[in-house]
Amino acid sequence: MMSNPHPAGPGRNQSLLSMARESALPSLSKAFDKVLGGFDDVLFDRAESAGASQLVFLDGMRELRRRREEISRRFASHLQQAWAALESGTPLSAESALAGQSEGGLSLVPEHVLESRLAVRNFATVLLRDWKQVLQRIDHRLAWIAGVPALDADTNPIGPEHIAVAVHEAFYTCELAVEVRLVLFKLCEREFAAGIGKLYESVDARLAEAGAAPEIAAPRRATPQRPATQAPADSDEGDGDPGHAPMWAQRFSERWSQRRSSMAGGAGMDGPAGGGFDGGAAAYGGDSQNMVLEALHELLSQSRQAREGAAAASPQSATAGGQHRALNQREMMSVLSLLQATPSATLRAAVGEEGESLAQRLKSEVLSGATRLGVDPAEARLDPQDEDAIDLVSMLFDVMLDERELEGRSRELIGRLVVPFVKVAMLDRRMFVQKTHPARKLLNSLAEACEGNAGESQAERALMGKVEEIIERLTAEFNENLAIFLTLEEEFREFLAQHRRRIEIAERRAAETQRGQEKLEVARARAATELDSRINGVALPKAIEDFLGQPWNHHLTLTLLREGDEGEGVVETLKLADAMLEEVAEARRHIVGKPWLQACQPALRKVFGSVGLHGDGGSAAIDALHDTLQSIAEARPELERALPELPQVALPMPPVQEAPAIEFGSATKAEDFDDSDAERFRKMEIGTWLDFIDKEGKLQAGKLSWISPISSRLLFVNRRGIRFCVASPEELAVMVRLGRLRAHVDDGAFDSAMQGVLDRLEPQFSPV
């Protein structure tokens, strides 16, 4: 990174620009063509396993074959256009280019276009993250040789943002189903990354050798993170790096080390011989993983002793006399596989039920199931390591089901994972301490899909259907091969990514709706103010009063929404009201024979037309106003006429108000808050998550999605992208004071539940 601003370049250098262009553009086009050439095989493979959706992938294959040259040409064309803009000294914004198709109107962008844009933005984000350092140097070197003040991710013509736009443009005119487009973008993301990175390093090195921006240090080869999909499931790479360890493990490790160091002389330091949770590895002299696993074993052992009592061990525990035989691993796996395939009714009932120990129920079911193997339950017990696995997994699911918004079918489906995860814990105990373990990643994804999912929309029902399919396959196919978790996690991750894009679209819709409602609220308030300022305290004939209170008010509100405060139509509508009131004043001065409202005819017809009164209907309404004014001028009230019945129009209504964000008690006032909290909310970044707590103590996470430029209120959406809270910074500060709002910490469902397990375990013992 560069600590000081770079001096301006020497001005436009055509020679270096040409060299950079020839180094980058042909190679990018060639790389894209290579990726494009592999799409046919991939789509064919997808079609074979797509079931009812097979035809959309086959149609996609035909469309790509038919338009291949056009696709390649459109990709190259955008990059050439972006480079030409750089050479002309006016770099092109990738964001502006991506939004170019919706110019010229206020209509909503079609959902499939929004999904495509989100997909390519994600593609760009991946490349920006992996090649951040070299891209910063290229930004500066290209600006230096082009003679422009600066380039950034949005304006670098060969940067990930413009490459993503080029991919979007390449397929934009193709008639492809949404799922086919998303597959193509995902493949581009996967196949493009490494090749583009090497290209960036080559361009940076060539520009440096040519003397571009000599004040920058010589380039060093970037080493981006390897994609998770390429990392072997059993890899230990990065395990010693705190950044790769789960947050709960880091916090627990620190507290445990402090506890151990405070004990005098190491009394009580040794766990059962060979029975450590890490399978007998060195407990405290080895790596941090083994220390955490051994500490968990000790906690679980002490917890069982506290529950069972030192003098009366349960049948599941090891006995002093050693009269009970421990089930070996093969026996345990056989019994668990039976429970996995056909869980008992009592075990299903125990999942997540308050007052029922899932761990005790599962251990009882295991010992009872051992009878099918010819083992007498009265003479059998569980090995301490196996008991640890059952206790820890059961507690983890208890916490997850208690703290997450999992109800009904979601709760039942997640509960079916208990037995498979006990088997994983017995086979690979590193699941608890490896952040990238495929089993925990699959559980995180499934919990995310289920949380708050009541199946209210078609997309939510489709997602739950996929969750059920994944869990059915896991319980049917998982024996002792952990590779199935990697396969199912990858498959479900792609499906969940599509759902997340739908959530982002729903979130944008929520912001658009809130923006529209606030604009309507402001327009209604302005119309009401204009009307009140003109008729306040003035008695008007009923026809005039009805005209101003209904059609005119309606027309002014809509005109304000369309044109803003000072639009030409707004001025015209206000002048009409003033002219109408002036006519009333003249009539009251008994001016007879005047052609009433003659000059207002066009404006009146426009107002009545806005409420659906056209032609003869509009003429009749204008005649009623004319006769009313004539009756006032001649002092003949019997000539006064009412407006004809107006069509039933949907007059603008105030926006639907959210349920009160807070309910102030007798001891709390709306202004009773810490202004520093309010200021923090005023500066909060979009995308920040907070935890909202209702009166019953139920927690719901909310994401800051939008901040109103009109009212400064903050819009929060739930995990489905649906609006559930709109509040001012001051209201949020009061919620903090009332204990109804707090910072959100989300390490994923697995890690959050593990933290809850530790919170339940640690109070059960005190340091020796």
pLDDT tens column, 663-708: 444 444 555 677 888 899 999 888 898 988 887 777 788 899 889 8
538-593 pLDDT, tens per residue?
888 899 999 998 899 989 998 998 888 888 999 999 999 999 999 899 988 888 77
What's residue 105's pLDDT? 38
d(CA 42, CA 188): 12
Instruction: Give kind and range of the element (H or E) at residue 24.
Output: helix 14-37
Instruction: Give kind and range of the element (H or E) at residue 80.
Output: helix 54-87
Question: Which whole number is the average pLDDT over 719-725?
Answer: 84
Query: pLDDT band for position 307 (50/70/90)?
Result: low
Output the pTM of the full model.
0.52
Name the token pair of 551: 């059609």
Least confidently predicted of 189-193, 296-300, 465-469, 629-633: 189-193
Q: Report H helices in 589-682.
A: 601-610, 615-633, 675-682
Least confidently predicted of 58-67, 181-190, 520-529, 675-684: 181-190
**φ, ψ dihedrals at 714, nearest 5°:** -105, 130
Domains, the chain, with CATH or none: 14-224 (no CATH), 325-507 (no CATH), 514-639 (no CATH), 675-748 (2.30.30.140)
Q: Is the dihedral of CA 176, 177, 181, 187 positive or negative?
A: negative
Residue 622 has pLDDT above 60, yes or no: yes
What's residue 613's pLDDT? 85
What's residue 253's pLDDT? 65
Residue 408 has pLDDT above 60, yes or no: yes
Query: pLDDT band for position 259 (50/70/90)?
Result: low
What's residue 576's pLDDT? 93
Q: How far is CA 89 from CA 83, 99, 581, in A?
A: 10, 22, 58
Instruction: Give kind and range of the element (H or E) at residue 22.
Output: helix 14-37
Question: Which whole number is the average pLDDT over 279-305?
Answer: 62
What's residue 79's pLDDT? 94
Question: Which whole number is the average pLDDT over 587-606?
Answer: 87
Name the token pair of 632: 């006032």
User: DSSP letter string over 492-555?
Assistant: HHHHHHHHHHHHHHHHHHHHHHHHHHHHHHHHHHHHHHHHHHHHTT----HHHHHHIIIIIHHH
Identify the residue whose tokens are 């001065």: 589
pLDDT above 70 as % of the chain = 78
What's residue 604's pLDDT? 92
Residue 224's nearest CA partner among 136, 123, 127 is 127
440-482 pLDDT, tens per residue?
889 999 988 888 787 777 888 888 899 999 999 999 888 878 8
d(CA 336, CA 202): 55
d(CA 12, CA 148): 8
Q: Report H helices in 452-482.
A: 458-477
Per the CB < 8 A criterion, the answer to whether 520 and 561 are in contact is yes
What's residue 1's pLDDT? 33
What's residue 25's pLDDT? 93
Residue 298's nearest CA partner among 278, 316, 318 is 278
Cα-based angle 688, 693, 699 (whole degrees, multiple of 5)? 80
Question: Which whole number is the average pLDDT over 162-175?
Answer: 89
Residue 632's nearest CA partner among 679, 577, 584 is 584
Query: pLDDT band for position 357 (50/70/90)?
Result: confident
Per the CB < 8 A criterion, the answer to whether 446 and 467 are in contact is yes
Residue 705's nearest CA partner among 720, 693, 721, 691 is 721
Q: How far is CA 427 from CA 115, 403, 482, 608, in A?
A: 40, 27, 9, 77
Question: Which whole number is the average pLDDT over 90-99?
Answer: 84
Q: What is the mean pLDDT of the chain?
A: 78
What's residue 283's pLDDT? 34
